[in-house]
Structure 1
Amino acid sequence: MIGSTRKSRTFVGIAASLSLMAAACGGTENSGAGDRTPAQGDCPVSPLDVVVSVDQWGDIVSQLGGACTEVTTVLAGSSVDPHDFEPAPSDAVAFEGAQLVVVNGGHYDEWATKLAETSAPDAAVVNAVDLAGGHADDHDDHDHDDPAHDDHDHSVNPHVWYRPDVVTAVADAVTAKLSELSADSAGYFTERRAEFAASMQRYDDAVAAIRTGAAGKRYAAVEGVFDDMAAALGLVNRTPQGYQVASNNEGEPSPADLDAFLTLLADRGVDVLIYNVQTEGSVPEQIRAAAEQAGIPVVEVTETLPPGAESFQDWQVGQLDSLARALGVGA
């Protein structure tokens, strides 16, 4: 993210693009000891104690664990940027006794990895970035015109919940770990995994529809949170490389880089602009205004579950549907 687009953690305008999301997502905004999601249904044994760093994964883990887990999500809400979060002693306490810890990994939530090592050294750990096949150190070396830029041979974008293959890998890994930790509940966890897969069908269908109908379409983005999903959809990233390098390193784009972006939009060099509404500052606002003036559709996305998101699936499908409409595809 460029310096002028540090996350504001507000969601002005997101309601219009995610109008299907009406119910709370099993937690409240939190920057302390975490939100404990109550278990649902019947469990044959005592539930496992699970701690998840951020709600992008916390919602998924809660769905997979059901009544056989008690899930504490440390950052459940949008008020704190996970990159900048400084845990309090109460957060360390939340990890104590955890049997499974799920982290995003890379430099996204290093505090969670450290707390797991010190406060829950015996806990099993699922690390999403490791499952993605890399370490999210830097991701400004991608071929920006290559939709396959997330090859597992190099560092990955840390926003791996935007990779459908990683969502599947995390779900499989969590189910496997839960089944190992509670063998008597293995059948229950297998059923929950199957139910999760069924609930993800509309997500899978939306991804497939865009990939079929819009592969090769061009996009630009004010920052890279959505890039891996765009790659999975077969879209071509036309964001000027200098601008994207600055954005990924939280720096200011040079005047030349900004001018290249504005010229790209004025020339209608992209089919859609991806705009993270959890940003603020004059630069992204200027870019959005230029896209709108050129008649380029603007699709709003977020980094974390927005207020009113009923589930991970609803959040993602709402955004994908908005993108499909912008690209003229029936999702």
Structure 2
Amino acid sequence: MTGKRLAAVAAVVLASLHAGAALAAPAPVLNAIGVENEYADVISQIGGKFVHVTAIETDPNTDPHTFEASPQIAADIANADLVVKNGVGYDAWTDKFLSATAKKERRVIDVQHLLGLPDNTPNPHLWYKPTTMPVVAKQIAAELSAALPAQKAYFEANVKKFDESLKPWQAAVAAFKAKYNGTEVGVTEPVGDYLLQAAGMHIATPWTLETAIMNGTDPAPQDVTAQNALLSEHKIKVFVYNQQVTDPLTQSFLALAKKNNIPVVGVYETMPMPGYTYQSWMLAETQALSRAVADKVSTETLLASK
């Protein structure tokens, strides 16, 4: 074999080796954070194998409003390529970590700003609104595509799958509204209000009582009296309470509901685990409302999803 032919063969072999090495190289994986685990779940569904996702607020047995960050969380945020936060003051503590650990290529989705909501939006529990997560999922795909352009089609396909998977929940909300529109409901605080409103329910609890309980301030005595009357006089069909945050006042409301055979439904600020996805969680909450109104069945705690 001539020297030229040897050189040509060697070049082909080297090219094959390089191609094989390129094929064997692992795809880049982005570090992503969903401050609330419901957002982390959606990041995982859209990013799939191209994201490593960390959820910060994950415990459905604690009050997210009293969350305290740790040095490990600060480190996670510092290393993140993508952060999704709720906004509306709900997770304001993240802002100082984002500012303290400036990272030029880091992308941040503030759901409040994404939805164009003002800072004085009264109810921060945006994930209970059926129109929220489709917008968030689309933006997650856009941010991931900007970071990994070669995977844009993959992310966009996952958005379509996600939107499709929301249809059972959307259908359940529509069916509830068609059958029980205007149903009176009492609540402890506005955690699930967006869902209740989407389902056509009328929230009878004074708004000032809801916000006082949410913000940990003393409610007006007249509001407490009004809430007690809703329960003792059977003016509501179901009582919805924040399963994560109870105190003597909310426990007294819960006891009064049970005494008067008013079904109760517990809602969560943090996606319950294990086994739930965002969409199966929302569907489970809607089905619990339906059981309460139709069959007077209480669902205080969502069981682990299978």
TM-score (norm 2): 0.81
How far did 1:70 drift? 1.3
Moved more, 287-296 or 212-221: 287-296
Which of 43, 50, 53 is residue 35 of structure 2 equivalent to?
Answer: 53
**Number of residue equivalences:** 270
| TM alignment of 1:68-147, pairs within 5 A | 68-78=50-60, 80-122=62-104, 123-137=106-120
The 1:299–1:75 alpha-carbon spacing in structure 2 relative to 1, beyond 3 Å, is closer
Contact 2:83 2:108 in 1 (8 A): yes
Contact 1:51 1:102 in 2 (8 A): yes
* Corresponding position of 2:298: none
Greater fraction helix: 2
Q: Which of these two proteins has the greater Rg computed from alpha carbons?
A: 2
Report the secondary structure of 1:190's partner residue: helix
Higher relative contact order (CA 8 A, sep 6+): 1
| Structure 2 gap ranges (5+) | 1-24, 296-306
Provide, for residues 116-136 of structure 1, a one-character-per-residue CA deviation record: whole Å limited to 9, x for no partner.
Answer: 232243211111122333245
How far did 1:44 drift? 8.2
* Corresponding position of 1:184: 150
* Corresponding position of 1:299: 265
| TM alignment of 1:18-57, pairs within 5 A | 45-57=27-39
* Corresponding position of 1:207: 173
* Corresponding position of 1:251: 217
How far did 1:205 drift? 1.6
Report the secondary structure of 1:90's partner residue: helix
The 1:54–1:79 alpha-carbon spacing in structure 2 relative to 1, beyond 3 Å, is same
Could you tell me which amino acid in structure 2 is paired with residue 305 of structure 1? M
How far did 1:220 drift? 1.1
Q: Are positions 1:276 and 2:242 aligned together?
A: yes
CA distance in 1, matches of 2:276, 2:211: 34
Provide, for residues 247-268 of structure 1, a one-character-per-residue CA deviation record: whole Å limited to 9, x for no partner.
Answer: 2432122332211111122222
The 1:170–1:76 alpha-carbon spacing in structure 2 relative to 1, beyond 3 Å, is same
How far did 1:102 drift? 0.7
- Percent identity over paired residues: 31
* Corresponding position of 1:289: 255
CA distance in 2, matches of 1:88, 1:326: 40
| Structure 1 gap ranges (5+) | 1-42, 138-154
How far did 1:237 drift? 1.1
CA distance in 1, matches of 2:92, 2:208: 27
Contact 1:203 1:313 in 2 (8 A): yes
* Corresponding position of 1:316: 282
